[in-house]
């Protein structure tokens, strides 16, 4: 089995190191990760600049590359150019901080896993719910290995795409696993306005998570209640429920278009 | 009515100018757009750098700002800090080039519209299927105005989110409108490998669209067949169809977790 590891915290982050140590026993490990932290890059790709690629020297891996691009660039490059053989699984993480609810849209970690499936490999994103510098990633890495074993035992589908969040607790305090849906994450005081020494305005994005009522089966709720959340993800943004409704409303009002354009 | 315009081609792009001219007759126009082209930035946000904001001097608008950030930054900032009042509609575009199928994940234009809905305003992304420098945006802008009038006539829902693509044809050659689903867009020869003068490797992302069989009701198909495509979009990435399936498989194999962790 060939596993590609990536992340959005950069190739030297502790989360990816923990995964190399844990997954090396069950697979050949390839690493293609950004040269520096790329949090918040979402599904960003580098189209107008060249992407530098340097071979890394990480212990315990088959091959590794430091990529001057986004997490999605890393997965695209590794899948189509660098690894050479078919990648059986992409694992993105372990992210240093949660990726819950609506926030997954902004997440480089989750977007890298989405890109894995686009490039043809089942993929997992894994995040630890803590920004503490001294966080221990070993339980999360160990849990990832077991999830992979379960998935392969069960026959992993090509379109497998899981977003896993682990509470920042010692293992004995974790109550179990919940298969969840994405919850809601909004922020208060999103921007702080400042002035530079020349009097120009600039803003820092920041703000705190707004405490909001959550669906009982949401990932946000599960992690708050000391459960590991596992959310199956897809990336078809079509809102099928509304296709028929818009067909009706555009037919009904087509004369508004027709007045100015004979062809419509 | 207050309309916020944004794009990923930069504040001075011709697409946004065409929208100002056309929509000024039906609404107060605010513009918050990036200082330069930001194509391919997806749902990227700027979290680790300050975001510069400068007042722009565009004719025919109530207020306008040049933002040193991504399209999503623009919508977040305008909605929470700059405009002040409630924004009734976000229009992102007119993009110089298509945003079809899977490509919407990478699109700054579509992501800005998604962010509009996250921030509480109905939103439209609009793209013209041509990269030609001398492209005429006037039909696309005029069509956008009519779509907005239909939507308001019909009672626009807060969660309205439409992705519109217009074929690059003269109006008489356009066959009509189709309400569509997102199709498939894959690329061949995605990366070109080069060496810099010092012998270091770098890659350019490029490649051509792979011609693939499309669902009859897809946006890719509609535009190829000279129809305007309108796709309703959502952003809940939960794959609800698989929640039950994963509940079963993780229950079935829970002993694999339990062996090493009493708590699971």
Q: Is residue B227 part of a domain?
A: yes
Q: Is residue B248 part of a domain?
A: no
Q: pLDDT (tens digit, 0 to 9) for every residue of chain B, 264 residues total?
A: 999 999 999 999 999 999 999 999 999 999 999 999 998 999 999 999 999 999 999 999 999 999 999 999 999 999 999 999 999 999 999 999 999 999 999 999 999 999 999 999 999 999 999 988 889 999 999 999 999 999 988 788 888 999 999 999 998 899 999 999 999 998 988 999 999 999 999 999 998 999 899 999 999 999 999 999 999 999 999 999 999 999 988 888 777 775 444 334
Lookup result for tokens 């409704």:
A245
Chain B residue numbers with beta carbons less than 8 Å from the beta carbon of A177 are 250, 254, 257, 264
Chain B residue numbers with beta carbons less than 8 Å from the beta carbon of A146 are 256-257, 260
CA distance A63 to chain B (A): 16
**Is B52 in Cβ contact with A143 (below 8 Å)?**
no
- From the candidates B246, B251, B253, which should be mutated to test the interface with A, based on the most A CB atoms within 10 A? B246
As a whole number of Å, the CA-based R_g of chain A is 21
Closest CA to B69 of B88, B89, B54, B57: B54
Element spanning A81, H or E: none
Q: Angle B240-252/A138-153 helices, nearest 10 degrees? A: 100
Distance CA B239, CA A231 (A): 8
Chain B residue numbers with beta carbons less than 8 Å from the beta carbon of A172 are 262-263
Q: What is the pLDDT of residue B258?
A: 59
**Is B205 in Cβ contact with A45 (below 8 Å)?**
yes
Which regions of chain B does DSSP assign to beta strands (E)?
2-6, 28-34, 51-55, 63-67, 89-96, 123-129, 161-167, 176-179, 187-188, 191-195, 201-205, 208-209, 227-232
Q: What is the pLDDT of residue A259?
A: 44
Query: Per-residue pLDDT tens for A151-203?
Result: 988 788 888 999 999 999 998 899 999 999 999 998 988 999 999 999 999 99
Q: Is residue A78 part of a domain?
A: yes
Does residue B224 sit at the A interface (CB-CB below 8 Å)? no
Q: Is residue A205 part of a domain?
A: no
Chain A residue numbers with beta carbons less than 8 Å from the beta carbon of B80 are 190-191
Q: Is residue A84 part of a domain?
A: yes
CA distance B128 to chain A (A): 17
Task: Say which of A106, A193, A237 has its CB closest to residue B104.
Answer: A237
- Chain length of chain B: 264
Task: Say which of B42, B249, B260 has its CB closest to residue A150.
Answer: B249
Chain A residue numbers with beta carbons less than 8 Å from the beta carbon of B44 are 40-44, 70, 106
CA distance B161 to chain A (A): 9
Number of domains in chain B: 1
Q: What is the pLDDT of residue B153?
A: 85
Task: Say which of A106, A202, A231 has its CB closest to residue B50.
Answer: A202
A vs B, Cβ pairs < 8 A, gives: 260
Q: Is residue A29 part of a domain?
A: yes
Q: What is the pLDDT of residue B254?
A: 75
Which residues 136-175 of B are in CB contact (within 8 Å) with A? Answer: 142-143, 146, 149-151, 153-154, 161-162, 171-172, 174-175
For β-strands A123-129 and A89-96, DSSP reports them as parallel
Does residue B187 sit at the A interface (CB-CB below 8 Å)? no
Does residue A246 sit at the B interface (CB-CB below 8 Å)? yes
CA distance B60 to chain A (A): 23
**Per-residue exposure over A171-206, b if at least 16 CB sit within 10 Å of its own CB, e if not:** beebeebbbbbbbbbbbeebbeeeeeeeeebbbbbe
Does residue B106 sit at the A interface (CB-CB below 8 Å)? yes
What CATH code is carried by the domain that includes residue B7? 3.40.1210.10
Distance CA A220, CA A8 (A): 21
Does residue A261 sit at the B interface (CB-CB below 8 Å)? yes
Chain A residue numbers with beta carbons less than 8 Å from the beta carbon of B217 are 243
Q: Is residue A35 part of a domain?
A: yes
Is the bond preceding B171 in cis, omega lying within 30 degrees of 0? no
Task: Give the structural domain span for A151.
Answer: 2-184+214-238
CA distance B12 to chain A (A): 18
Which regions in chain A score pLDDT beneath 70? 258-264
CA distance A131 to chain B (A): 15
Taking CA–CA distances from B247, the nearest residue in chain A reads A179
Chain A residue numbers with beta carbons less than 8 Å from the beta carbon of B103 are none
For β-strands B89-96 and B63-67, DSSP reports them as unpaired
Beta-carbon contacts of residue B199 (< 8 Å; ≥ 6 apart)? none
Which residues 195-214 of B are in CB contact (within 8 Å) with A? Answer: 200-205
Q: Is residue B190 part of a domain?
A: no
């Amino acid at each position: 089995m060939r596993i590609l590891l990536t992340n959005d915290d950069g190739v030297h982050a502790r989360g990816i190191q923990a995964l190399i140590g844990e997954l090396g026993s069950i697979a050949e490990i390839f690493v293609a990760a950004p040269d520096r932290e790329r949090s918040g890059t979402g599904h960003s790709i580098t189209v107008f600049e060249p992407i530098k690629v340097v071979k890394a020297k990480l212990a315990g891996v088959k091959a590794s590359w430091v990529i001057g691009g986004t997490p999605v660039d890393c997965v695209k490059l590794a899948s189509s150019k660098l690894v050479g053989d078919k990648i059986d699984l992409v694992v993105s993480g372990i992210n240093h901080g949660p990726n819950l609810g609506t926030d997954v849209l902004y997440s480089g970690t989750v977007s890298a896993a989405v890109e894995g499936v686009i490039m043809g490999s089942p993929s997992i994103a894994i995040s630890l719910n803590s920004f503490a510098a001294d966080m221990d990633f070993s339980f999360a890495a160990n849990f990832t290995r077991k999830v992979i074993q379960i998935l392969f035992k069960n026959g992993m589908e090509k379109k497998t795409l899981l977003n896993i969040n682990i509470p920042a607790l010692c293992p004995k305090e974790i109550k179990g696993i919940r298969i969840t849906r994405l919850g809601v994450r909004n922020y208060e005081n999103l921007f702080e306005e400042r002035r530079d020494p020349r009097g120009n305005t600039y803003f820092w994005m920041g703000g705190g998570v707004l405490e909001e009522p959550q669906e009982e089966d949401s990932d946000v709720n599960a992690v708050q209640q000391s459960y590991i959340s596992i959310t199956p993800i897809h990336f078809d943004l079509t809102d099928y429920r509304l296709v028929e409704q818009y067909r009706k409303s555009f037919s009904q009002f087509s004369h508004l278009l027709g007045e100015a354009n004979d062809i419509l």
